[in-house]
Homo-oligomer: A and B are copies of this chain.
Amino acid sequence: MDKKMEHSLLKNTIESTKSVFNMMAGIDVKGEDIIIFNKDGVKGDVTGIIGLSNDHIKGSMAITFPEELGKEVVANMLAIAPEDISEEELKDGLGEITNMVAGDLNNRIGNIFKLSLPSVITGKDHLVSLTHNDTPIVFKFFALDKPFHLLATFEEQK
């Protein structure tokens, strides 16, 4: 992928994350300068995953949280207390926020991708890895002063 496209995808992924968390949950996301190049994946307790693709580029994106923060983010979205969130609400909320970040990114870059339906994984300390021939990009963000990760990979099809 050319450097300009790659830079645009990275920059807009950050913008979309900040914008969606702010609009949907009233949460200020920080840490946009922390990019980790990580082949091994990252661990989390609750994860939303979505695919993005078109004729030329295949991609995927995952947002993974520690359980407490995942619940707090969804609680803020729903305007209820974290301890009142059901499993169902947590999973729906994670799917929704993942869908919105990917959708917002897609809007910013001219709706070039088709998005898949999001999937949600829950389970203490699972490892999330995205397929990539090169090295997937992992953003370490902070919400409510707690870290979470966004993994993104976009690969040009030969």
Q: Mark A residues whose CB is within 8 Å of B.
A: 41, 43, 47, 49-55, 58-60, 62, 91-92, 95, 99, 114-132, 153, 155
Contact = CB atoms under 8 A, between A and B. Distances in A.
Contacts of A116: 50-53, 58-60, 116
Nearest to A92: B131
A117 B91 contact: no
Main secondary structure, interface of A, reads strand
A119 B62 contact: yes
A122 B114 CA distance: 26
A125 B129 CA distance: 17
Contact of A153 (B41, B60, B117, B126): B117
Contact of A117 (B60, B124, B125, B127): B60
Given A50-B51, A51-B51, A60-B51, A119 B130 contact: yes
Q: Quick one: which of A60, A129, A130, A153 has the most chain B CB within 10 A?
A: A129
A10 to B, nearest CB: 16
A13 to B, nearest CB: 15
B120 A123 contact: no
A19 B115 CA distance: 27
Contact of A49 (B49, B91, B115): B49
A128 B129 CA distance: 15
